């Protein structure tokens, strides 16, 4: 086979390989974006169902503002992801257009070469010509080589014909893909336009609510103060009970001093060490403390939705779920304390080695101190606030006395 032809075939193979790799990477990226978009759409649906099931007027302004702020944030994420999908499709469409153009060029070259071969083959098609070609050999070895060449030439001609068919099929499929991609992009653009229109409505609702709040700032300030006081009470009792549990555990192990806390860490038995190690090994894979719901408040410091200059701190996460939902243990462990905040609801603390999970805002309890529980064990019924119709679980995670971010430990929280 001539050198030029070999180089051409190698170039085609390399181009095809690079094209396949790029296409595969883009397909994976598109799948990941589509999965993210579906997740955000589901989250918006859950927000509408769980946070906006009751009339807008119900509940205090702080609840309304936080719910609306959560919905707007998720809607903005959805628009960003949809834009990313649209941009990726644009790149794929442009790549397909280039591939179609290149394929057409390659196909023309293949057809021209094939036509030349057919023409030469026609000119030398007679059996006599082939026989004379062999008989004109100077020796047997040359005759054998010429016979091999004739076979290779016939095979090469067959392969060229098959390549033309393959390239034609590939070109046809690329044109189909291009048509489908353009339709998909049009659908994404239409979906995004609807999402943007809905976002504008929600932002206008937020603006109206913001205006009503600022007409009565003292009422909003009182709601914030009340929320902070409630959070402080819960945080203080959680940490007090953890320290008390550490003191009692270490005293029993013979390392504590009577009437005082000798350490901020549990002294672990071999069995407790095994539980702690298993818990730690499941970081990022722990189950949700409810069967289903949405995270309505994350961990850490966040800005006030009305006055961004005001900062709030959340030492756990808040999960909104369905009325009648049960809190469930995220891992095997032992109930070490029952919380009962004055003027508030109940809670359960479970020890997993030296990790402590806390489930607060329960109306009914199904466990007591000292109970051994398994993963998914029902701990109690979550309280439903009749003023706004919301059912919220406050979930906290500690390692000894150190606060942990539950979002880093619970799967996709």
The pLDDT score that the predictor gives to residue 56 is 45
Q: What is the pLDDT of residues 128-154, one digit of tens each?
A: 455 555 556 667 666 667 667 666 666
* pLDDT range class, residue 199, cuts 50, 70, 90: confident
The pLDDT score that the predictor gives to residue 336 is 93
Residue 89, C-beta contacts closer than 8 angstroms, at least 6 positions apart = 30, 181, 184, 185, 188
When computed from its CA atoms, the radius of gyration of the chain, rounded to whole angstroms, is 35
Token pair of 5 as six digits? 């032809």
The pLDDT score that the predictor gives to residue 14 is 55
The pLDDT score that the predictor gives to residue 259 is 46
Domain residues of the chain, as ranges?
3-215, 218-408
The pLDDT score that the predictor gives to residue 158 is 61
| Residue 24 pLDDT exceeds 70 | no
CA-CA distance, 217 to 225, in Å (whole number)?
Answer: 12
Residue 152, C-beta contacts closer than 8 angstroms, at least 6 positions apart = 1
SS3 206: helix
Please provide the CATH number assigned to the domain covering 218-408: 2.70.70.10
Q: What is the pLDDT of residues 308-345, one digit of tens each?
A: 777 888 899 999 999 899 999 999 999 999 988 777 78
The pLDDT score that the predictor gives to residue 404 is 95
| Residue 25 pLDDT exceeds 70 | no
The mean of the pLDDT values for the chain is: 77
Q: What is the pLDDT of residues 224-254, one digit of tens each?
A: 788 888 888 888 888 888 998 888 888 877 7
Q: What is the pLDDT of residues 257-304, one digit of tens each?
A: 444 445 788 888 889 999 999 999 999 999 999 998 988 888 988 887
pTM above 0.85? no
CA-CA distance, 12 to 203, in Å (whole number)?
Answer: 53
Q: How far, in Å, are 12, 225, 309 from residue 312 at the CA level?
A: 61, 11, 10
CA-CA distance, 14 to 31, in Å (whole number)?
Answer: 26
Give, in degrees to the nearest 5, the angle at Cα 378 between 377 and 380: 150
CA-CA distance, 248 to 18, in Å (whole number)?
Answer: 65
SS3 131: helix
Specify whether the CB–CB gap between 363 and 346 falls below 8 A: yes
| Residue 3 pLDDT exceeds 70 | no
Specify whether the CB–CB gap between 341 and 100 falls below 8 A: no
Token pair of 175 as six digits? 């044109």
User: Helices 61-123 and 140-215 sit at what angle, rounded to 10 degrees?
Assistant: 160
Choose from 93-107, 167-181, 285-299 the range with maximum mean pLDDT: 285-299
Q: What is the mean pLDDT of residues 192-211?
A: 78
Q: What is the mean pLDDT of residues 405-409?
A: 95
The pLDDT score that the predictor gives to residue 274 is 93
CA-CA distance, 392 to 293, in Å (whole number)?
Answer: 9
Higher pLDDT, 377 or 313: 377
Choose from 21-30, 298-307, 401-410 the range with maximum mean pLDDT: 401-410
């Amino acid at each position: 086979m001539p050198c030029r032809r070999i180089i051409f075939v190698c170039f085609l193979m390399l181009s095809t390989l690079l094209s396949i790799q790029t296409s595969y990477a883009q397909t994976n990226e598109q799948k990941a974006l589509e999965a993210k978009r579906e997740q955000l759409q589901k989250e918006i649906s859950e927000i509408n169902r769980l946070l906006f099931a009751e009339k807008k007027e119900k509940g205090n302004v702080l609840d309304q503002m936080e719910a609306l702020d959560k919905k707007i944030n998720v809607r903005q994420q959805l628009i960003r992801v949809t834009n990313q999908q649209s941009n990726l499709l644009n790149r794929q469409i442009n790549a397909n257009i280039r591939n179609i153009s290149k394929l057409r060029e390659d196909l023309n070259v293949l057809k021209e070469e094939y036509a030349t071969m057919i023409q030469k083959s026609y000119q030398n098609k007679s059996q006599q010509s082939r026989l004379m070609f062999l008989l004109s050999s100077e020796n047997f070895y040359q005759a054998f080589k010429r016979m091999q060449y004739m076979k290779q030439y016939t095979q090469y001609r067959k392969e060229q014909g098959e390549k033309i068919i393959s390239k034609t099929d590939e070109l046809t499929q690329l044109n189909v893909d291009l048509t489908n991609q353009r339709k998909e992009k049009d659908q994404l653009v239409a979906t995004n336009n609807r999402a943007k229109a809905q976002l504008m409505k929600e932002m206008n609702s937020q603006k109206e609510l913001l205006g009503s709040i600022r007409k009565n700032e003292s009422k909003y300030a009182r709601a914030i103060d009340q929320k902070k006081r409630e959070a402080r009470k819960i945080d203080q009792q959680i940490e007090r009970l953890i320290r008390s549990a550490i003191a009692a555990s270490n005293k029993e192990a013979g390392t504590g001093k009577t009437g005082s806390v000798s350490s901020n860490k549990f002294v672990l038995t071999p069995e407790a060490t095994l539980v702690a190690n298993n818990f730690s090994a499941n970081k990022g894979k722990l189950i949700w403390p409810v069967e289903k719901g949405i995270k309505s408040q994350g961990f850490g410091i966040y800005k006030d939705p009305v006055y961004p200059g005001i900062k709030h701190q959340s030492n756990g996460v808040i999960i909104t779920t369905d009325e009648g939902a049960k809190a469930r243990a995220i891992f095997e462990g032992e109930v070490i304390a029952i919380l009962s905040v004055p003027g508030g609801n109940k809670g359960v603390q479970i020890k997993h080695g030296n990790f402590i999970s806390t489930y607060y805002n329960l109306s009914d309890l199904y466990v007591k101190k000292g109970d051994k529980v398994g993963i998914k064990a029902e701990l109690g019924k979550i309280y439903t606030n009749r003023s706004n119709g919301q059912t919220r679980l406050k979930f906290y995670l500690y390692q000894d006395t150190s606060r942990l971010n539950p979002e880093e430990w619970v799967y996709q929280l």
